[in-house]
């Protein structure tokens, strides 16, 4: 069904005395409803969208509308509306572009703001840094050197040779975008001459080749705060890659990796270490000293009868809280070590101890063998 068979006012669902604002609002509503992007694969919706576009193209123009009201579709088809050809094409493009931009975004038109491509920010950069657990505890001040694009000094990022200037692009008249009509659609794309900048460099800078930036080493001061962990990210604002043609630079992100420690393992702000003790210390109790991450000696009291795998906790002896107060804990896991080298006298003393054992000294062993005995009795009954 062609648009000539349907009244334009009926297509847009407005009365014949509707004002321009009402017609424009009605077209926006119908375009949103039937646009192909909103109805993929729906041929009927696409046809209805084209009909509504044709209706709006006629009714929004006072001369076309007057001719249509007088002569109907025949007047519009034969050009009696006076609006055919290229007359007023720029204004029509802007009007339709405004509608599409409000509905579907800037891809369908640039509106009345010119449409020049905004300055593209420079890329963000990543730098991986390895620190020791001691450095993560205390924090540190360090320097890094990276190769990064920076603003060209001779042209100050403009890309033009010093003493020369840019000129407005003739292709897009400084807008950065060009438009073309394809059937019922107005297609807008980036200007191929200036690439969206709206300006053309007549004489590129010899230092940067017209890019406005050059690659060179950059040395930066980096502060590592106490309490950082693997995966901690430090952001240096504006220290990333310079943007083209003097646009703002990106940021530099430093990703930290904490190396394994010889003594301590880490879980958040908690430190874990495994400490071997003699079986006599485990049996009689006592105390041991171990070095803390802060360099101070830590005294650990060992209760009598402690078993391997038992964990003792020292509050506030762990890692500092990143950007906060206080410290985590230190967890000491006890490992009871059985002696492997004994003198004749030590063996003699142990045999004397063994002769005096009743089984009640080691409740876990006694309980285990009692369970074995009960299980055997159950099998033999």
User: Among the listed ranges 6-15, 18-27, 368-377, which one has the minimum average pLDDT value?
Assistant: 368-377
Q: Is residue 47 part of a domain?
A: yes
Question: Does pLDDT of 246 surpass 90?
Answer: no
Question: Does pLDDT of 125 surpass 80?
Answer: yes
Examine the domain organization and report whether 139 and 210 are in the same domain. yes
Examine the domain organization and report whether 155 and 207 are in the same domain. yes
The CATH number of residue 273's host domain is 2.60.260.20
The residue range of the domain holding 17 is 3-82
User: What pLDDT score was predicted for residue 109?
Assistant: 41
Question: Does pLDDT of 360 surpass 50?
Answer: yes
For the chain, give percent helix, strand, coil, nearest 5: 30, 25, 40
Cβ(49)–Cβ(57) below 8 Å:
no
Name the band, by pLDDT with cuts 50, 70 and 90, for residue 118: low
Binding positions are 152, 155, 169, 172, 191, 194, 205, 208
Domain edge (last residue) among 233, 258, 283: 258
User: What pLDDT score was predicted for residue 335?
Assistant: 95
User: What pLDDT score was predicted for residue 85?
Assistant: 37
- Spell 327-353 as b/e; 16+ CB within 10 A means b: bbbbbbebebeeeeeeeeeeeeeeeee
Residues near 122 by beta carbon (within 8 Å), at least 6 away in sequence: 149, 213, 240, 241, 242, 243, 244, 247, 248, 249, 250
Provide the β-strand partners of residue 298. Answer: 290
User: Among the listed ranges 111-125, 253-267, 276-290, which one has the minimum average pLDDT value?
Assistant: 111-125
Examine the domain organization and report whether 51 and 8 are in the same domain. yes
Phi first, then psi: give them for residue 109, nearest 5 degrees. Answer: 155, 155
Domain edge (last residue) among 217, 233, 258: 258
Q: Is residue 70 part of a domain?
A: yes
Mean pLDDT, the chain, as a whole number?
82
Q: Is residue 296 part of a domain?
A: yes
Examine the domain organization and report whether 131 and 251 are in the same domain. yes
Count CA atoms closer than 13 A to 112's CA, side-chain side: 4
Q: Is residue 57 part of a domain?
A: yes
Examine the domain organization and report whether 221 and 157 are in the same domain. yes
Q: What is the pLDDT of residues 14-39, one digit of tens each?
A: 888 888 889 888 888 888 888 887 88
Examine the domain organization and report whether 229 and 289 are in the same domain. no
Q: What is the pLDDT of residues 68-108, one digit of tens each?
A: 787 776 654 444 434 443 333 333 444 554 555 444 544 44
Binding positions for Zn(2+) are 152, 155, 169, 172, 191, 194, 205, 208
User: What pLDDT score was predicted for residue 170?
Assistant: 85
Examine the domain organization and report whether 284 and 312 are in the same domain. yes
Examine the domain organization and report whether 331 and 285 are in the same domain. yes
Name the band, by pLDDT with cuts 50, 70 and 90, for residue 381: low
Token readout for 333 is 């896991």
User: What pLDDT score was predicted for residue 5?
Assistant: 57
Q: Is residue 211 part of a domain?
A: yes
Strands (E), 170-260: 177-182, 185-190, 199-201, 213-224, 233-236, 252-258
For the segment 224-249, the average pLDDT, to the nearest whole number, is: 90
Examine the domain organization and report whether 134 and 58 are in the same domain. no
User: What pLDDT score was predicted for residue 72?
Assistant: 74
Total domains, the chain: 4
User: What pLDDT score was predicted for residue 47?
Assistant: 85
pTM for the model: 0.58
C-alpha–C-alpha distance, residues 290 and 271, integer Å: 13
C-alpha–C-alpha distance, residues 170 and 193, integer Å: 9
């Amino acid at each position: 069904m062609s648009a000539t068979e349907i009244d334009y006012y009926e297509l847009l669902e407005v009365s014949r005395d509707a004002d321009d604002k009402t017609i424009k609002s009605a077209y926006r509503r119908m375009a949103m409803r039937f646009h192909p992007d909103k109805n993929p694969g729906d041929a009927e919706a696409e046809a209805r969208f084209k009909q509504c576009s044709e209706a709006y193209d006629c009714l929004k123009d006072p001369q076309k509308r007057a001719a249509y009201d007088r002569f109907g579709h025949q007047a519009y088809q034969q050009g009696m509306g006076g609006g055919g050809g290229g007359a007023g094409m720029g204004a029509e493009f802007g009007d339709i572009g405004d509608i599409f931009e409000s509905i579907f975004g800037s891809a369908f038109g640039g509106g009345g703001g010119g449409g020049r491509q905004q300055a593209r920010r420079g890329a963000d950069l990543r730098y991986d840094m390895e620190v020791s657990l001691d450095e993560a505890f205390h924090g540190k001040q360090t320097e890094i050197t990276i190769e990064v694009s920076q603003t060209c000094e001779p042209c100050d990022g403009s890309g033009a040779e010093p003493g020369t200037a840019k000129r407005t692009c003739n292709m897009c008249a400084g807008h950065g975008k060009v438009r073309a009509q394809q059937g019922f659609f107005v297609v807008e794309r980036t200007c191929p001459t200036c690439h969206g900048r709206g300006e053309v460099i007549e004489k590129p800078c010899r230092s940067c080749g017209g890019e406005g930036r050059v690659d060179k080493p950059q040395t930066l001061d980096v502060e590592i705060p106490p309490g950082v962990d693997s995966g901690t990210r430090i952001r240096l604002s504006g220290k990333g890659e310079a943007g083209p043609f003097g646009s703002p630079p990106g940021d530099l992100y430093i990703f930290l990796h904490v190396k394994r420690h010889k003594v301590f393992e880490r879980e958040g702000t908690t430190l874990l270490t495994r400490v071997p003790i003699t079986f006599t210390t485990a049996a009689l109790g006592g105390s041991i000293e171990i070095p803390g991450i802060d360099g101070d000696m830590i005294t650990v009291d060992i209760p009598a009868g402690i078993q391997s795998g038992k964990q003792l906790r020292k509050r506030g002896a762990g890692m500092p809280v990143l950007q906060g107060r206080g410290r985590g804990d230190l967890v000491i896991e006890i490992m009871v070590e059985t002696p492997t080298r004994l003198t004749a006298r030590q063996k003699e003393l142990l045999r004397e101890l063994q002769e005096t054992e009743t089984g009640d000294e080691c409740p876990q062993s006694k309980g285990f063998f009692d369970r074995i005995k009960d299980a055997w009795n159950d099998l033999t009954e």
